[in-house]
Amino acid sequence: MGTSTEPSLKVIEPATETVLAELPHAGVEEADAAVARAKRAFGAWRAIAPGDRAMHLRRLAATLAERVDELALLEARNVGKPIGDARGEVGLVVDTFNYYAGAPERLLGDTIPVAGGVDMSFREPLGVVGLIVPWNFPLPIASWKVAPALAAGNTIVLKPADLTPLTALELERAALDSGLPEGVLNVVAGPGSVVGERLVQHPDVAKIAFTGSTAVGRRIGALASEQIKRVTLELGGKSANVIFADADLAAAASAAPLAVFGNAGQDCCARSRILVESSALDRFMELLERAVTELRVGDPLAERTQMGPLISAEQRSKVRSYLDGDAPVAIRGSAPEGPGYWLAPTVLCPVSNQDRVAREEVFGPVAAVIPFDTEEEAIRIANDTIYGLSGSIWTANGARALRVARAIEAGTLSINSNTSVRVATPFGGFKQSGVGRELGPHALDYYTELKNVFLATN
């Protein structure tokens, strides 16, 4: 990848503010070369027996499994995420490749009863797909796209975020080491406005799968529409964590901090609006204070750490700007002094859902507690947002839990839990949180075209 004349990209370690790596910064030429390689590789890759394609995915999973510690360390240093989280994420990546290794032999079509012949449907690969990913979960989000795209017979150009290109480059290396044919998976590390936009506009790229901000997603959607290019978008969120008075408050309060402050709040699924039934507010805040102040914020490479620094100085000042509003600070956790882009986890209470901190995606360790009085009010506030990615409902009343879950306009909800992602289940957003779904069997629909063939028999 790249030539010596290219500008170089300095990758910073957010916990130390030092240079972790320096690599060539690709441009349009490298993007075009990668698309050409992927296009050349497509014919052979789509044609190999489904069982052989499955074997390639399994081998890649096995190669990654051997490198879990090495990849986790790189991701922890580059993103500033706790090493335990990073290890779990690489495990999820291995699981994702193993899960989609089951897909090539199960891409079933239909036979459809019609007059005069036999009608069949097939799932065809799209061709070269362009995958553009963000910096918060670099390797997992790449794998959620790469694995189903490969399983369905597509070839790939993957563009990581400038802040975190290192594990994507390791993924490309692991793919080659595991025997994946050359040209099937190509990684190009370059600026979004140059390499990303080139992929979106390249006539030989059949589809873009993007995860990132709603603003960039909107631009990608508009550019892609000029070529009627297939697009899936996984965008921002402003998810509600709805806590009813009848819930197990101790469980809800102990889970709430990491539901916002995990990955230092840089999580599209962050439950950053904590909606609490007024009659339980005082008790919940007491429990929450204990849980937030006990949160272990510090060196990402220490095993016990639960929250690391933010990704950059720029991200930290953006997040700090949300603390300047009208809402009072109710709880403030701890954070180390510099160097490192540290910010203490902070809970604001009470917050109105009209406040800026409740309307915009903060993408940092700031939670807004919003009291409510009735189930209807909770649903109304939860839905009063442009986003619809995830959310949680905490209650002991099963019927209410399902009623509220069905009423919330979001793609990925959990009841008495704050988890969002499982390899086998669909993940994605309603409203401005995106278009399409990743993970589970549904992701394959977004990496294939449905073809119908009619064979006349009379």
Which residues are catalytically annotated? 234, 268
**Nearest 5°: CA angle at 63, between 57 and 67?**
140
Query: Judged by CB under 6 A, which of 27, 140, 434, 436 binds ligand NAD?
Result: 434
**216 binding ligand NAD? (CB under 6 A):** yes
Which CB, 134 or 257, lies closer to ligand NAD? 134
**12 binding ligand NAD? (CB under 6 A):** no
User: Which 3 state secondary structure label does DSSP give 81?
Assistant: coil
Tell me how far apart the 2 most distant CA atoms of the chain are, in Å. 80
340: tokens are 């490192």
**264 binding ligand NAD? (CB under 6 A):** no
Instruction: Quote the CA–CA distance of 54 and 52 in Å, as a whole number.
Output: 5
**134 binding ligand NAD? (CB under 6 A):** yes
Classify burial at 392, counting beta carbons within 10 Å of its beta carbon; exposed 0-12, middle 13-18, buried 19 or more.
Answer: buried
Query: Judged by CB under 6 A, which of 14, 125, 148, 196 binds ligand NAD?
Result: 196
**132 binding ligand NAD? (CB under 6 A):** yes
Instruction: Quote the CA–CA distance of 354 and 280 in Å, as a whole number.
Output: 22
CA distances for 455 relative to 28, 73, 116, 121, 450, angstroms: 44, 55, 8, 11, 17
**341 binding ligand NAD? (CB under 6 A):** no
**389 binding ligand NAD? (CB under 6 A):** yes
Instruction: Quote the CA–CA distance of 214 and 432 in Å, as a whole number.
Output: 7
With contacts defined by CB under 6 A, name the span among 86-94, 118-126, 231-239, 401-409 that binds ligand NAD: 231-239
**133 binding ligand NAD? (CB under 6 A):** yes
Instruction: Quote the CA–CA distance of 65 and 143 in Å, as a whole number.
Output: 13
CB of 76 to ligand NAD, least distance (A): 17
Instruction: Quote the CA–CA distance of 17 and 309 in Å, as a whole number.
Output: 10
Contact status, residue 281 vs residue 372, Cβ threshold 8 Å? no
Which CB, 9 or 280, lies closer to ligand NAD? 9
Query: Judged by CB under 6 A, which of 61, 361, 385, 391 binds ligand NAD?
Result: 361
**157 binding ligand NAD? (CB under 6 A):** no
Contact status, residue 87 vs residue 77, Cβ threshold 8 Å? no
Query: Judged by CB under 6 A, which of 75, 89, 234, 277 binds ligand NAD?
Result: 234
With contacts defined by CB under 6 A, name the span among 43-51, 55-63, 156-164, 373-381 that binds ligand NAD: 156-164
Contact status, residue 328 vs residue 349, Cβ threshold 8 Å? yes
Instruction: Give the H/E segment covering residue 275.
Output: strand 273-277
Query: Judged by CB under 6 A, which of 86, 93, 150, 161 binds ligand NAD?
Result: 161
CB of 359 to ligand NAD, least distance (A): 14
Residues forming the site for ligand NAD (CB under 6 A) = 132-137, 141, 159, 161-162, 192-193, 196-197, 200, 211-213, 216, 219-220, 234-237, 268, 361, 363, 389, 429, 433-434
